[in-house]
A = this chain, B = another copy of it.
Amino acid sequence: DNPDITKERKSASFNLYKMQCFVYEGQYKLKRRQEILDFVESHKEFDDPVHPHFLNREEQIDRATRKCVAMMNNLEAIDVTDYFDEAPLYQFLTIGRELHCLSLHYGMFLPTIQNQCDEEQLEEWLGPAASKAILGTFAQTELGHGSNLSKLETTATYDAKTQEFVIHTPQMSAAKWWPGGLGKSANYAAVMAQLHTNGENKGPHLFMVPLRDTTTHLPLPGITVGDIGPKFGINANDNGFLIFDNYRIPRRNMLMKYSKVEPDGTYIAPPHSKLGFGTMVLVRSLMIRDQASQLGSAAVIAIRYSAVRRQGEINEGEGEVQILDYRTQQYRLLPQLARSFAFLFAGYEIRATYLHVTKLIRHSANTELLPELHALSSGLKAVITWEVAQGIEQLRLSCGGHGYSRASAFPDIYTYAVGGCTYEGENIVMLLQVARFLMKIAKEVRTGTPKLAEIAEYIARTDSGAARVSRWKTCADEDIIHDFEAVTRKMIFSAFDRLKSLEGTMKKKEAWNACSIDLCKVARMHVKTYLVKNFLARVRTCEDSASKTVMHTLAKLYAFDLISGAGGHFMKGGFLSETQANQVQVDIYEMLNSLRPEAVALADSWAISDLELRSVLGRRDGNVYPALLEWAKASPLNKSEVLPTFDKYLDPMFKEG
């Protein structure tokens, strides 16, 4: 290994294994990570004869399809019911970040069948879908509509004469657009369409729609389907478009667990409008965990590289330093590392909440906590995806020129992760939903009738003087939490008051729109307060004291960095004094100093293997330069010394010159 990185590993004050156990909630998951890695590495099916970066799009799709089929044929070592950890890890190890045509089949199509089919329909479709006799996707978004699902334009008109639905794309903006795997792979789709029966529009409903002939794979008559073209990332996924020309499906292809259409066209409404919620909340919860890993991966790469990169001197004549020694570099790296853990731990918490809430619903049809969970998962999704995206780019830039090469893996991590800002609910739209939840609470508090679950409890508390945050080493967790809660509470009520006062001069919805920038800020701060509290709480559960000390510093760095970034809000009304604000800043520098020798070991705590990382820059052994050269030499352009462009264009140019 590179001696610089070995030296770093020795300088940590904690035992790596113990820290990894803390990070992965005990020995079991850590052991499983290794076992799954060994399993993937021992299977020839998962080898890459050519490095994935060197493939064109057709080749990428070929590789990903080959591998995802192989992946599903080799499940004996994987607990696929663990969709928070084992399943995504397995996918990342086998395929990587360009995804594949089965993502939506497992992520949305199967769950939709499980949650939206009645018994008879389950009987019919669950088997084939689970055994991959058919390949499905989830077709909701259209060219013209994503966020506002109520205005989707695809129609499903019931024809009682033939007992069929006629699925139709009335104009171009109604073309389905984006569904993963739809373009060239799926032969089925769960399609969201406006249900028309007996002359009435009953709103968007789901339908099971065959798309391609199961033997020839040709699109069925009435179906136009194709790939939507290259994207920023996930190019091994054939996101597709879909146009219906009065395409007929049997009545029973409407998913009828909740709403139904009877043979004569009579519509039966669902008993509870929010029961379709589950899949969305689950996917958002999974995203938190996944996004945390992406930021974690980026931090691992940048920190390791910063340990082996030597550039410039601090004291002249004393030799070039590891760039990790630059204070500015530490500031680029360590708060991002802290964030990655904050998000990981939020992922754990939301998983627990999700499992708890679904249990309540299943056992006692108790949906009381659903709005809470919905607000929490939407808020976390919006805040985390954006901070992860920004963080990855910060980390990439901190690696200088080499961060721009795809060898670094940063471009792939970024383009993969940043998609999360948009899908599963556009972030601003999500934040406004959280704000709606918060304004409802504010109103309840003001009218003295709050019914608050734990996460929003603080909103009802009364204010309590000045900020309590003090020097990082001695400051109590409670004081940090107090300050975040107090500031967020103030922001919530000040937005609420502004909203109410605007409602005096304009329509309610217009007032909402006029306030919406503030409302987004409030929602973000509420989520950040949750993240800080959750990080600190998680640290308190750490049993190894050396690990605990370092993680505690990281958690405080996270909190102090947030205070520093939201400076204005904390200083309002003199809540945080100027002396305190300046001290927070100096304390951040001290924490960077204190974490400097722990940095590489903290990165190692993520226990991300080289195979999962897929980064030349972030390799565990730190031998970056030879690996970069080797990677470059394998690039397709280097197959021949002279490209055809020489004879075609350059040589004539030289001769003329």
Contact = CB atoms under 8 A, between A and B. Distances in A.
Interface stretch (A16-24, A453-461, A512-520): A512-520
Contact of A637 (B238, B316, B568, B631): B238
Contact of A657 (B132, B404, B628): B132
Interface string A463-497: 00000000000000000000000000000000000
Interface string A615-657: 0000000000110110111111110011111101111111011
Contacts of A397: 421-422, 427
Given A69-B650, A645-B185, A172 B509 contact: no
Contacts of A520: 328
A230 B634 CA distance: 11
B57 A657 contact: no
Contacts of A229: 53-54, 405-407, 631-632, 634-635, 637
Interface in A506-559: 507, 509-510, 513-518, 520
Contact of A327 (B141, B232, B516, B651): B516
A6 to B, nearest CB: 18
Contacts of A134: 654, 657
A151 interface: yes
Interface in A381-399: 389-390, 393, 397
Interface string A585-628: 10001000000000000000000000000000000000001101
Contact of A625 (B66, B172, B514, B650): B172
A406 B231 contact: yes
Nearest to A240: B632
B632 A226 contact: yes
B312 A214 contact: no
Nearest to A130: B657
A128 B653 CA distance: 11
Contact of A231 (B411, B419, B516): B411
A218 to B, nearest CB: 6
B422 A403 contact: yes
A335 B372 CA distance: 34
Contact of A217 (B233, B327, B646): B646
B328 A516 contact: yes
10 contacts: A58-B643, A62-B645, A185-B650, A217-B642, A228-B405, A231-B404, A327-B514, A400-B422, A514-B589, A572-B578
Cβ-closest 5 pairs across A and B: A567-B568, A133-B657, A56-B56, A131-B657, A229-B635
A571 interface: yes
Contacts of A58: 636-637, 643
B231 A509 contact: no
Nearest to A59: B56
Interface stretch (A142-150, A273-281, A440-448): A142-150
Interface in A210-226: 214, 216-219, 226
